[in-house]
Amino acid sequence: MEPALRIRDYEPGDEDALVEAWNRSLRYDPITLKVFERKVLLDPNFESSGLKIAEAGGELAGFVIGIVRRYPLFYQGLEAERGWITSIAVRPEFDLHEVAHRLLEEVFKFFMERGRVYVWFSPYTPNYFFPGVDPDRYGWVLETLETHGFKRVYEAISMDAQLYPDYEVPDWVYEAERGLEEQGIEIRHLETKDIHPLLRFLERNFSADWYRHCLELLQRGCGKDQVLVAVRDGEVLGYCQYFHGEEYDWHRAGAHFGPFGVREDFRGRGIGSVLLAKCLREMRAKGFHNAFLLWTDRETARFYSRFGFRITRKFYIMRRALR
C-alpha cells in the first residue's frame, strides 16, 4: 500500500530536498541552491505558509510556491487582489496529478485566507522563474491547472539569437543612427548624468518591475556599458540593458537581454533598432556567443527576428478566479 500523502508548510532544512525535487520534475529549468535562496527565501514577500510541501513516507514528493505581496513594488503597489504561483513540481516517481491536486487545494486556502481574488501562474515580479506554463515541456502542469479552473490569458515568447561568429550591425542601422543624430538624438552607453533621467523615464513609461530591475542593476555596480540609452537634450527617450543570470551575481554582464523600451511618442523612428543592434554588438565584443530574452509577444517577436532572434519556447500565462 502506498504511504499516505501529507501536505505541510515549508520548514527550515527542507531546501536541499526542494531543489532536488525541482530538478527531477522541472528538468528543462534546473536551479541551484543559491538561486532558490535568492529568489524564494530572500524574497521579502516570502511566507513559509505559502510554500506547500507534499510528503509521502517521510519523503518530499512535491511542492508549490504561492506568494502575495506584503510589501509594495514601488509605484505598482501591493496588488491586493492578486496571488501568484511561481512554480509547482512533483517528483516523477509519484502520481503527478494526485500530488499536484492536493498541493493546489492547499495553496488556494493560503490565497483565500489573504483575501485574494485571482491567482496567476506565474508572472510574479521580481522573482518569477518562467513567464508561465511551457505546454511542450510540462504538459502535465497545463492539464492540472486547467482542471483546477485556470484559463489561458495570453502567450509569452522566449527568443534566442546566435551572435558568434556572424553577428554584425546591419548597414541600415547605421543609416538610421545618422538620421537620429540629425534630430539631436544620441544612442550611447549610460553615463552618470543619465541615471536620474533614466529612472524618471522608467517611472513614467514602464512597469515598476522595469524600474526596480534597472535600479538594482546600477546599485549592484554593473558596468554602465551594460545599459544603452537614447538621449536628447538630457532627456532619456529609450533604453536597453543586458545582464548575467539567476544567482547572486546576476547583475554582471551576460547573455540575458532586456528590458528594452522606447517612449511611446518616439516609437517608429528607428530608436529601438539602433539600441538593440548596438547592444548586441556590445555583447558580442565582450565575447558572448548568444543573447536571449525570456518574455515577449508574437508581434514584438517579428521585430526581434530582424536581428537574428528565433523563437525557442512559448508559455501560457494563466489565471484562476477564486471568487
Domain shared by 62 and 106, yes or no = yes
Asked, for residue 305, whether it belongs to a domain, the answer is no
Residue 150 sits at φ, ψ, to 5 deg, of -75, 140
Domain shared by 91 and 185, yes or no = no
pLDDT at 218: 96
Contacts of 54 (CB under 8 A, 6+ apart): 5, 6, 7, 60, 61, 62, 63, 90, 94, 99, 102, 103
pLDDT at 2: 64
CATH code, domain with 106: 3.40.630.30
Domain shared by 144 and 247, yes or no = no
Domain shared by 148 and 172, yes or no = no
Asked, for residue 74, whether it belongs to a domain, the answer is yes
Full pLDDT tens readout for the chain, 323 residues:
467 999 999 999 999 999 999 999 999 999 999 999 999 999 999 999 999 999 999 999 999 999 999 999 999 999 999 999 999 999 999 999 999 999 999 999 999 999 999 999 999 999 999 999 999 999 999 999 999 999 999 999 999 999 999 999 999 999 999 999 999 999 999 999 999 999 999 999 999 999 999 999 999 999 999 999 999 999 999 999 999 989 999 999 999 999 999 999 999 999 999 999 999 999 999 999 999 999 999 999 999 999 999 999 999 999 999 98
Could you tell me how many residues make up the chain?
A: 323
pLDDT at 256: 97
Contacts of 323 (CB under 8 A, 6+ apart): 112, 117
The model's pTM:
0.95
SS3 content of the chain, % helix, strand, coil (to 5): 35, 30, 35
Residue 144 sits at φ, ψ, to 5 deg, of -65, -45
Write out the residue range of the structural domain in which residue 227 sits. 164-288
Domain shared by 124 and 190, yes or no = no
Return the DSSP state at 65: E
Q: Is 138 exposed, middle or buried (0-12, 13-18, 19+ CB in 10 A)?
A: buried
Name 158's bridge partners: 313
pLDDT at 3: 76
Residue holding cell 519523503? 59
Domain shared by 106 and 180, yes or no = no
pLDDT at 323: 84
Asked, for residue 135, whether it belongs to a domain, the answer is yes
Contacts of 65 (CB under 8 A, 6+ apart): 40, 50, 51, 85, 86, 87, 88
- Cα(92)–Cα(95) distance, rounded to whole angstroms? 7
Nearest CA among 311, 293, 314 for reference residue 302: 311
Asked, for residue 295, whether it belongs to a domain, the answer is no
Are 315 and 155 in contact, with CB atoms under 8 Å apart?
Answer: yes
